[in-house]
Structure 1
Amino acid sequence: MSGGSPGARNPRLADFHIVITTYNRAGYLARLLETVAALSPAPDAVVLVDNASTDSTAEVIAAAAAHSPVPLIHHRLESNLGGSGGFSAGVGRALAEGAQWMWLMDDDVEALPDAIGAFHPWMVRYDALVGRRYDSAGEPFFWQNDFNSFLGVPLPVPGNVFARSNEFPTNVGCFEGMLVHADAVRSVGLPDPRFFLNWDDTMYGWQISRQRPVVYVNEFVLRKAREQRQIDLGIRHLNDSSDLSRFYSMRNRGLVAQYLRAHGVYNPVGFALGTALTTAKEALRLLAVERTVRGAGTLWRGWRASRQIMADTHWEPMPAPLPKE
């Protein structure tokens, strides 16, 4: 990936695949694929998981594949499995295709031309990386969290984490630009499709961090293409959302609890407090960002669904490790 013949590559930098999950965003996807085609150095392949889109996504993918400088693998699912299911399927497909590195991204971002080269110095040292991104207005977006296992929530880290270093150790992931090595994936298994939306990347990064470093690096690699309403809380940005996202934000607290139990760090009192904080955050999102109270009932329904998951005594985490090919 760093020039020269493939045989001269550092083996840790070989077989770089981009994994994209998309659903009914043909316009954004077309632009993303244009930016992927302009990457220099280029990826070895792109795995594009289509969550059973019903718009012109298939046509966009076919047109891009006809002119793509790298192989574009269209992996269409029979039903919409959400972002979580899409990334689980995409990472599994990339591994089957021989990927050693997988750069995970949603369909509403754009890749910066030198992104892969920006990652290279860090790929020799780490197995799990998260690069920086600009928001839709071209301003730096700060994503910096630390998962608190007592509360079961990621807490924002205030200030400029890159003031003294270009790397910030974290213990969460973000599927809007997370780069993972196959060794890290095999150590914890595929992303869990049961999340459908929300919490999947947080918990995936947390699981990886219990075995090896996860690092947020001072390299801009993506730009958000889709505009979102947001407010700046000083320690984090709070974006607008949807009823579907709100439901899974609360419902997936049950899955978070089960993962904490599986790792022996679940505290019922702390977790209840963390759930209260999550509810308060979603309520603030409704009131301050979306300026409505509609959706409050969705939070209640999500919380009730989380209790059913927590009561499942037969629940098991995603199997790991995955066997090597």
Structure 2
Amino acid sequence: MSDKVCAVVVTYNRKNLLLECLKALRKQTRPIQGLYLIDNASTDGTPELLLEKGYITELPPQNIEEPWEKEFIIQNLTDGEEIKLYYVRMHENTGGAGGFYEGVKRGYEKGYDWLWLMDDDAEPKEDALESLSIYFKNSNIVGLAGSVLLPNRTIAIYHRGKINFKKVFPLIQIPLQLQEYQKQTVEIDMASFVGLLVRRNAIEKIGFPKKDFYIHHDDIEYCIRLRSIGKILLVPKSIIFHKKASKTEVEKFFLGRRKLRKNFSEYWLTYYGIRNLVWLGKRYSKSKTLFYYQMFKFLLRQILGIILLDDNKLKRIKFIINAYIDGLQGKFDNKKPKRLLYEK
């Protein structure tokens, strides 16, 4: 087994889902050799539970001012071989993008041949990595990914697909047709960080995920860079389950139609998706005229929705406009959303 694989798992306040993810990684029939666990300053007792379950034997210090890393040894549940577990306790929540930046950088510096990226709510099937490893020797492949299934075993189509550089707002990705999943392999342009396996020499050329994104669309941005130097291959028989977190939207009705709206206390999270998509659209769209038309059209629709359905209307409108402007100007102040909404 010449290729060394290191999983990179980013977690924040989902300790029970994390344990299920870690167990699935330990049960792989094609074992992993390393596991970078990036704990984004969880406040739900994640380190204590990891200690209780034997994943770590030492708790991180309190009140750290920079990331703290410690290496531990766990066993693969399939063959009993050792897995090096690198537990990184972040000093603050850097979002999914910051967590994957940290994990990819550290895993790359440790010399692993492949890095398998996933959130803490992912659960790869036992033979998921084995099905992907068949293609390790294809030198023109820079990324591998399997099918993402929801708990009800339906395919989560937006996790794998093509990228459309002509019509880039409000979506840049085009999901694969379901019949594509019947093939042995499919060339794709993007795969979410729910089970994307990245080759080391690709990281050497394109660098690490863009930590400035904080959350949302960092995986699309990274795949655009990956595709510039090689192929990303979907292997449908490799399966990873995605246990989506519960939604926080509020249900409202307008003219008899059901609308889901974000609660004001959670509204700050919408900033990152808008800003990052605007940045991607401005940078990569083939038709700038079409991009600006689509962007302004979508902005007007959002403002209208706020006026008709939401509370704190002026704050929300100002907030949304700031997200668009910051995306156009490439400003990545990730503490700004909460300042805009909640500080007097």
On whether the aligned pair clears a TM of 0.5, the verdict is yes
Tell me which residue corresponds to 2:69.
Answer: none
Match of 1:6 in 2: none
Which of 98, 123, 126 is the equivalent residue of 1:110?
Answer: 123
Instruction: Give the C-alpha shift of residue 145 in structure 1.
Output: 2.5
> One-letter code of the match for 2:142?
D
Q: What is the identity, as a one-letter code, of the residue corresponding to 1:41?
A: R
Structure 1 partner of 2:149: 134
**Residue number among 281, 287, 306 corresponding to 2:324 in the alignment:** 306
Q: 2:74 aligns with which of 68, 72, 90?
A: 68
Tell me the equivalent position of 1:271. 291
Q: Greater strand percent: which structure?
A: 2
Does the 8 Å CA contact 1:243/1:295 hold for their aligned counterparts?
A: no
Q: Matched residues in 2 for 1:271 and 1:212: separation?
A: 27
The CA deviation at 1:163 is 6.2
Say if 2:215 is the partner of 1:200.
no
Q: In 1, distance between residues paired with 2:134 and 2:231?
A: 15
Q: Which runs of 5+ in 1 are unaligned?
A: 2-8, 231-238, 287-291, 314-325
Q: Secondary structure at the residue paired with 2:87? A: strand
State the shift of 1:171 in Å: 1.6
Question: Do the aligned partners of residues 165 and 137 (structure 1) sit closer, same or farther apart at CA in structure 2, a change above 3 Å counting?
Answer: closer
Count of residue pairs brought into register by the alignment: 285
Task: Choose from 161, 167, 180 the match for 1:151.
Answer: 167
Render the CA deviation track for 1:129-167: whole Å, top value 9, x for unaligned.
121122022333334422122333424346334266322
Matched, 1:99 2:112: yes
Query: For residues 253-273 of structure 1, what are the alpha-carbon distances to aligned partners after superposition, in whole Å with 9 as ceiling and x for unaligned?
Result: 34314643xxxx553222224
1:99-157: CA deviation from partner (whole Å, max 9, x where unpaired): 11000000012121111101111222222112112202233333442212233342434
Q: Kindly tell me: are residues 15 and 254 of structure 1, through their superposed partners in 2, closer, same or farther at Cα, counting changes over 3 Å? A: same
Question: Are 2:243 and 1:247 equivalent residues in the alignment?
Answer: no
User: Helix, strand or coil for the counterpart of 2:191?
Assistant: coil
User: Residues 101, 209 of structure 1: CA spacing in aligned structure 2 closer, same or farther, 3 A cutoff?
Assistant: same
**What's the counterpart of residue 235 of structure 1?**
none
TM-score by length of 2: 0.73
Q: Tell me: CA distance 1:277–1:196, structure 2 relative to 1, closer, same or farther (3 Å).
A: farther
Mapped partners of 1:105, 1:84: distance in 2 = 11
Judged with a 3 Å threshold, the aligned counterparts in structure 2 of structure 1 residues 184 and 250 are, in CA distance, closer, same or farther, namely same
- CA shift, 1:244, in A, is 4.1
Of 203, 206, 212, the match for 1:188 = 206
Q: Residue 102 of structure 2 is aligned with which of 86, 89, 92?
A: 89
Once superposed, what is the RMSD of the aligned Cα atoms? 3.2
The alignment-based identity, stated in percent, is 21
Which one has a bigger Cα radius of gyration? 2
Q: Deviations over 1:10-46 (max 9, x none)?
A: xxxx110000000111111111111112112210010
Deviations 1:214-267 (A, max 9, x none): 22221233112345569xxxxxxxx9986344221112134314643xxxx553
> Given that residues 136 and 227 in structure 1 are in contact (C-alpha distance below 8 angstroms), is that contact kept between their aligned partners in structure 2?
no
Report Cα offsets for 1:160-218 as digits up to 9, x if no partner. Answer: 34266322222223111111001111221100001001111011101111221122221
Deviation at 1:97, TM superposition (A): 1.2
1:316 match: none
* TM-score, normalised via structure 1 length: 0.76
Q: Structure 2: state its 5+ residue gaps.
A: 58-72, 76-82, 250-259, 332-344
Q: How does 1:162-181 map to 2 (within 5 A)?
A: 162=180, 165-181=183-199
Per-residue deviation at 1:295? 9.4
The answer as to whether partners of 2:173 and 2:190 remain within 8 angstroms in 1 is no
**Alignment-mate amino acid for residue 81 of structure 1:** T
Please state if 1:46 is matched with 2:35. Answer: yes
Residue of structure 2 equivalent to 1:209 = 227
Deviates more, 1:59-68 or 1:92-101: 59-68
Residue 92 of structure 2 corresponds to 79
Partner SS, residue 118 of structure 2: strand
**Counterpart among 224, 242, 256 of residue 280 in structure 2:** 256
d(CA) in 2 for partners of 1:161, 1:224:
20
**Which amino acid in 2 is paired with 1:268?**
K
CA gap 1:160/1:279 in 2 versus in 1, 3 angstroms: farther
